[in-house]
Structure 1
Amino acid sequence: MKNFGKRIWHLILLSFLLCALFLPQAGCVSFPPATEDVLNLWDTGPITLDPAISSEMSSHSYVMQIFSGLVRLDDELEVVPDIAEGWEKSEDGKTFTFHLHQGVKFHDGKEVKASDFKYSWERACDPETGSQTAATYLGDIVGVNDKLAGEAEEISGVKVVDDYTLQVTIDAPKAYFLCKLTYPTAFVVERANVESGSDWWRHPIGTGPFELKEWSPGQLLILERNELYYGQLARVKQVTFHILAGNPMSMYEDGEIDVMPVGTDYIDLVEDEASPFYQELAVTPELSLYYIGFNTEAPPFDDVNVRRAFCYAVDKERIIKSIFRDMVNKADGILPPGMPGYNENLTGLEYNVTKADECIAASEYGNVSNLPPITITIGGYGGGVPDYLGAIIQEWRQNLGVEVQVRQLESEKFVYHLSEEKDEMFMLGWVADYPDPHNFLDNLFHTGSENNIFDYHNPELDALLDQAGIEQNSEARLMMYQQAEQQIVDEAPCLPLWFGKNYILV
């Protein structure tokens, strides 16, 4: 899913909620047991609470507590039953029959039936809903594309067998299909709630472990434990999010919040073994990538040599050391460490000013003086340019002799309208939705993908990704994805910058 912040605080927040609010799980940070009824957290707040619309971490952190789906990812990132108690797959790998737990209830007490899932998915795929994620996460289901195009009233590949049985047919056997159903787009919503008005999501009724008690945008959001939850009840009765309430470090020191993300301003303090915070620091890796994307359909980045030149001209190691204080890891490719298919032997476009100059000379422009004006689009508020982006722009100025302007969009507009609003470049991040290389390589770079904001088109790559998507041999499949990743790096539709790590105080 998309992310545009300096740190992936919402990924930290979501991980904390999943680990700390329920029974301890392997693979989670070891959190102290909750001793109070209320957990206090600092946050920036959600943009939306509609599972069909949410496509970024700031909203997902809440959506995934309020709603749920047929399946989920466990602490080992394996797909396990959730509202579905189990399923069967046909011999050809294209039809899944899900059996729902009986007695699962929405927050208002209404029982969840198979027809609720059919309604929820068809609503997500209705053109009037305006989902930017339905094609990506439900598009393998037969009939979804017709529904998205407004050419069908229902999804032909989704059939309600009875109240507790749902049959789903996909267009080809795909190893990652069940993983996609763990994404919020596939979560169940209550029809009466949705049809109560256009702002229904401000008062959502879901099936998740928490329900919304109070929401004052920009001030406070309170989640209350769902006592009707079909799974393990949360260990705290209430989670209070203090929205943009002040300095998180000061609030943490004063005991006003229980968790705090650590940035470069405080890293020396919290890593000092003599500091009282040292024992409270948790550092965990994350499956994420930050990058600068190029608009490959418009000058000058429709020229692959210009794209390569801008990649060669950035000394990522220097920026990571001087600005991030080594709190992130340099990215040469697309797939982060820990992701299946991660390739240690991938050949990246390493910092090399000589090669950058050679690429400019080999481009249709011949010289940087012939390049058109270049602007990079970023998200945020207040017009400030992040230090790391300022350093990158300085590298382009110093190493290429190119001036790059910055245009900032408000966060919501940036996240949901970047495809139409982007300039020649844009700054973005991607957080894994499921542990499969398809989630990065196909979702971001396949022609026509909802998240291919680069407008990148490579028929050879498309064919390779399509082949990998249906390959049933795991080893052969991962080799195909490694080959695809190398093609992407060579073609440079983006400049991979760094892979993230989480630093939090608990």
Structure 2
Amino acid sequence: MPREGNLSHWNRPIGLSRRTLLKGSAGLLVGTAAFGMFAGRAFAADQVLKIAHPVFTMDWSPMLGGGHAFRWNSLWWASPMYFNSKGEIQPYLFTSWEPSNDAKTWTFKLKDGAKFSDGSPITAAEVKGSWEAAAMPATKNQRVPQVLSGVDGYDAIANGGANSLPGVTTPDDTTVVVNLVASDPIFYMRIANHIVPIIQASKARDADGNLNIEWYTPQNGGVSSGPFKMASVDFDGGKASFEPNPNFFGTAPKLARVELQTVEDNVAATALLQSGEFNAHTELVTPTVIQDLGPEFSAGPIIPTGQHFWFNLSKKPFDDPKVREALVLAVDRDGLIKASFPDGPHMKADQIIYPVPGSEDSGFAPYAYDPEKAKALLAESSYGGPDNLPKLLFAGISSPARSVAAQYIAEQWRKNLGIQAFDMKPSQEEFGAEGNNVQIVRDDVGTRVPDAVSYLAGSIASTSSNAINKLGGYKNADIDTLLADAALLAADDPQRIAKAQQAQQLFHNDFAFIPWYHEAMSRWALPTVKGMDKNLDWQVAEPWAIEIA
């Protein structure tokens, strides 16, 4: 089935004919109700969450650690603990966590009587099995190192040389003991998310320890550990549905049903939300989202995730520090946020770390807007001025708001520095042969724990994917040392925060990015939907509390 994004394609999977469309505030207004997709099923219509999903998801495995389906992991899977929308850690399957004196060994206790949706017990052995399955290369979990890389034996299993974690032991059915290769005072925070949810590993894994194909689907007897269970999935039709888990060990959910339907076009999705045919969305990123759907639709707390434009220091002309500084100082970043999100919900970024301890009391000085100094720096650079610069290529320009932001930056460079040659595409691959020359990548960095050291370790440390790939192999030995030393200190140690602040300042001095915005974790739901507050991990923090008012 083709995957082009248009309204007629959205109509095909659910058997709708092309409709007459009228121009409106969102670009489209839809007339009669377009809801035949779940017709004939008995449920409480006022307690059904209807979600417009932006992509055809061909793998709903909860162990992928990312992607659009990951946003809904909390609906049907339990995690050891979780962060609420205020960033406060809460017990879930694990009710207690205790470190040894050196923080190399952690002991966790499970909730008594916890069960999977089929009524079978959730035991410590299933937790161990879940972590082992997630660490295996064949599972393709995108973010499992953030959770388990410090566990003894992780490297062997991640490299395909083993299928068990000797660092995880289970003295009894309700106790998990974790031995780490090094002290980690915040290990308990690392597992408080749905990157590695608790699955029925004893049935999901094959004889080699790998996960079976589509083991989680109802037709394959899949069970879940969260408040809902998958009731149906149609990969080609772009549909999935969930119903309450009758054996959930926590608070019983208020919703009678959750239904997801793929709608690839943002304008069509906006119109369908306006018409009331959907009441939530997985991720709707448009510059006019607040005008179209109201402030409450995208309201939410600022989370430790930032979207920025990163410079590849290995590519010309970004190998010259004066060029980099000129390009940063030539952009009015107040204007940038107003152009891309004129009414919010996101917040202008000046630094990387935010809103974590240490981000508001550092005396940090943001980049200035200084076109005259920028022009002088470019003239002093090894390139001598705008005429000698290569074409500047932007990648990661994959939504309307991102396109507006990139175009604004290019216009600032054109107006203030005389630079004329630009090109922008959603991905590096779409440049074809030119892809190897991409110098600017729009991408996010963030952390799954409210900690400045972890935030920077995943974004500017030389071992981070961001430094290796987006920043072109960026390495600052002083930054690496500061972050390594800080990681050994307790979460509330002032020196842990101070070292992170020093590391961020060193990176700031290298002029290697243009800060854009700190992300509001939007509800992406109409005002009638209550309890949709999300956490720093893009998950609905307490999905059992969702209800339709």
User: TM-score, length-normalised on structure 1?
Assistant: 0.80
Tell me how far 1:269 sits from its aligned partner. 7.0
Residue 249 to residue 52, structure 1, CA distance change in 2 (3 Å): closer
- Return the letter of the residue paired with 2:414: R
Among 337, 341, 345, the alignment partner of 1:324 is 341
Residue 242 to residue 152, structure 1, CA distance change in 2 (3 Å): closer
Give the Cα–Cα distance (whole angstroms) in 1 for the partners of residues 242 and 442 of structure 2.
32
After superposition, give the CA deviation of every residue in 1:319-377 in whole Å (9 maximum; x if it has no partner).
Answer: 322442141322111122x3221135312222222332344345443433333343221
Residue 241 to residue 503, structure 1, CA distance change in 2 (3 Å): closer
Contact 1:70 1:82 (C-alpha < 8 Å) held by counterparts: yes
Alignment of 1:91-490 (within 5 A): 91-191=101-201, 192-195=203-206, 197-200=212-215, 205-217=223-235, 219-244=238-263, 247-259=268-280, 264-265=287-288, 267-268=290-291, 283-287=299-303, 288-327=305-344, 328-336=346-354, 338-343=355-360, 345-378=363-396, 380=398, 386-402=403-419, 403-409=421-427, 423-452=438-467, 453=469, 454=471, 455-472=473-490, 473-490=492-509
Secondary structure in 1 matching 2:365: coil
Count of residues in correspondence between the two structures: 456
Give the Cα–Cα distance (whole angstroms) in 1 for the partners of residues 205 and 398 of structure 2.
30
Aligned to 1:14: none
Give the Cα–Cα distance (whole angstroms) in 1 for the partners of residues 377 and 170 of structure 2.
57
Tell me how far 1:231 sits from its aligned partner. 0.7
Secondary structure in 2 matching 1:428: strand
Give the Cα–Cα distance (whole angstroms) in 2 for the partners of residues 421 and 123 of structure 1.
35
After superposition, give the CA deviation of every residue in 1:5-52 in whole Å (9 maximum; x if it has no partner).
Answer: xxxxxxxxxxxxxxxxxxxxxxxxxxxxx9933122333255743343
After superposition, give the CA deviation of every residue in 1:65-85 in whole Å (9 maximum; x if it has no partner).
Answer: 222222222344232321122
Tell me how far 1:136 sits from its aligned partner. 2.4
Give the Cα–Cα distance (whole angstroms) in 2 for the partners of residues 400 and 188 of structure 1.
54
Give the Cα–Cα distance (whole angstroms) in 1 for the partners of residues 109 and 62 of structure 2.
22
Residue 298 to residue 362, structure 1, CA distance change in 2 (3 Å): same
Among 37, 40, 55, the alignment partner of 2:66 is 55
Contact 1:447 1:456 (C-alpha < 8 Å) held by counterparts: yes
Secondary structure in 2 matching 1:398: helix
Residue 235 to residue 439, structure 1, CA distance change in 2 (3 Å): farther
Contact 2:100 2:106 (C-alpha < 8 Å) held by counterparts: yes
Tell me how far 1:392 sits from its aligned partner. 1.5
Tell me how far 1:399 sits from its aligned partner. 2.4
Secondary structure in 1 matching 2:464: coil
Contact 1:262 1:503 (C-alpha < 8 Å) held by counterparts: no
- Return the letter of the residue paired with 1:50: S
Secondary structure in 2 matching 1:470: coil
Unaligned runs of 5+ in 1: 1-33, 271-276, 415-419
Give the Cα–Cα distance (whole angstroms) in 1 for the partners of residues 348 and 317 of structure 2.
26
- Return the letter of the residue paired with 2:66: S
Residue 188 to residue 268, structure 1, CA distance change in 2 (3 Å): closer
Residue 92 to residue 331, structure 1, CA distance change in 2 (3 Å): same
Secondary structure in 1 matching 2:64: coil
Give the Cα–Cα distance (whole angstroms) in 1 for the partners of residues 367 and 512 of structure 2.
12
Unaligned runs of 5+ in 2: 1-43, 528-549
Secondary structure in 2 matching 1:430: strand
- Return the letter of the residue paired with 1:467: D
Give the Cα–Cα distance (whole angstroms) in 1 for the partners of residues 398 and 122 of structure 2.
39
Give the Cα–Cα distance (whole angstroms) in 2 for the partners of residues 47 and 331 of structure 1.
34
Give the Cα–Cα distance (whole angstroms) in 2 for the partners of residues 174 and 376 of structure 1.
38
Secondary structure in 1 matching 2:230: strand
Instruction: Report % sequence identity.
Output: 25
Give the Cα–Cα distance (whole angstroms) in 1 for the partners of residues 339 and 358 of structure 2.
30
Higher mean Cα deviation, 495-504 or 173-182? Answer: 495-504
Aligned to 2:515: 496
Residue 35 to residue 470, structure 1, CA distance change in 2 (3 Å): farther
